[in-house]
Amino acid sequence: MCFDSSLKRMSVVYRLNPLRQRMGVKEGPKEGGGEMTMYTKGAFESVYPLCSHIRVDGRDYPLEHYNVNDYCDEVMQYRVDLMAQKGLRVLAFATRVVEEEEEEALLKYAREEGEGGREGLEKNLVFLGFVGLQDPPRRDTPGAVQTCGEAGITVRMVTGDHPQTAAALAKQVNILKERREGGKEGRNIVMTAQHFDHMTREALDAMPFLPAVVARCSPETKVKLIKALHRRGRIVAMTGKGRERRKGRGGWRDRRKEGEKERREAEKG
């Protein structure tokens, strides 16, 4: 189950062979035996709601057991936000053992290359924890943003990162600051895609200034922002990663063709 930009998570499943089989002992389970284990990683707000248990000191406990202490939802979210404020990209991890009766559904999902059934598989996970990854901007990015500003080009960030991670990175590269748009002082607006995507065309057009940063976005969010800018008479160019994981069985796909499709859709608006 490859990374999905709308779900903000991915899962892999391994069949863990028994130790006796790995040691070459002839007795024991047949070839291919052993339990299947799922490992899930992604945005905290995407992974944590799928969990029913939490692993503490090597033992699994129901989440309700820790609802009033250091592992309650509010404290966990506070810790994630604290890491995100430092510009760290936060990844949450969870796991579970796949029951025998679920194996056929899992194999069917794999054969059909991801068509349906994912929600029924990524469930009842054991939360393992989260880590903060430092992926700072390239050294020449702040200068490039400044050069664009001096040329009258407004730079915006549309990213899949956590809102506070996005805000911290945008400040580092001078995207979030007092900027001019249409000859007036603009405001530093950071918006989540969940909020942005639910806004109507009329509501977007009524905003004095469109957001400087949109976080937790999907490809559709980018197209919506481009269309909103076009309606304001802006000339828009979009840049970013050229390749990404495809939703099927892995491997890379070229994003250039999809980028052209997104551009054509935006031009229609």
Number of domains in the chain: 2
Indicate if the pLDDT at residue 27 is higher than 60. Answer: no
103, part of any domain: yes
76 & 165 share domain: no
CATH number of the domain bearing residue 196 = 3.40.50.1000
Which residue range is the domain that position 213 belongs to?
141-268
162 & 74 share domain: no
161 & 210 share domain: yes
Which among 24-38, 105-119, 202-216 has the top mean pLDDT? 202-216
156 & 196 share domain: yes
3-state secondary structure the chain: CCCECCCCEEEEEEEECCHHHHCCCCCCCCCCCCEEEEEEEECHHHHHHHEEEEEECCEEEEHHHHCCCCCCHHHHHHHHHHHHHCCCEEEEEEEEEECHHHHHHHHHHHHCCCCCCCCCCCCCEEEEEEEEECCCCCCCHHHHHHHHHHCCCCCCEECCCCHHHHHHHHHHCCCCCCCEECCEECCCCEEEHHHHHHCCHHHHHHCCCCCCEEECCCHHHHHHHHHHHHHCCCCCCCCCCCEEECCCCCCEEECHHHHHHHHHHHHHC
Q: What is the pLDDT of residue 7?
A: 79
d(CA 47, CA 11): 10
Q: What is the pLDDT of residues 50-82, one digit of tens each?
A: 999 989 888 888 887 665 566 677 788 888 999
145 & 264 share domain: yes
225, part of any domain: yes
167 & 116 share domain: no
CATH number of the domain bearing residue 38 = 3.40.1110.10
- Between 2-6, 29-33, 127-131, the lowest mean confidence (pLDDT) is in 29-33
**What is the radius of gyration, based on Cα positions, of the chain?**
22
153, part of any domain: yes
Domain boundary, last residue among 78, 106, 133: 133
Buried b or exposed e, range 237-249, using 16+ CB within 10 angstroms: eeeeeeebeebee
| CA-closest candidate to residue 79, choices 112, 127, 116 | 127
76 & 189 share domain: no
Q: What is the pLDDT of residue 110?
A: 66
Domain boundary, last residue among 133, 158, 189: 133
* Tokens matching residue 114: 């991801």
d(CA 223, CA 250): 25
Tell me what the mean pLDDT of segment 257-264 comes to: 56
Domain boundary, last residue among 102, 133, 164: 133
Q: What is the pTM of this model?
A: 0.66
Indicate if the pLDDT at residue 21 is higher than 50. Answer: no
- Which element (helix H / strand E) includes 44? helix 44-47
Query: How remote is the C-alpha of 170 from its chain's centroid?
Result: 17
3, part of any domain: no
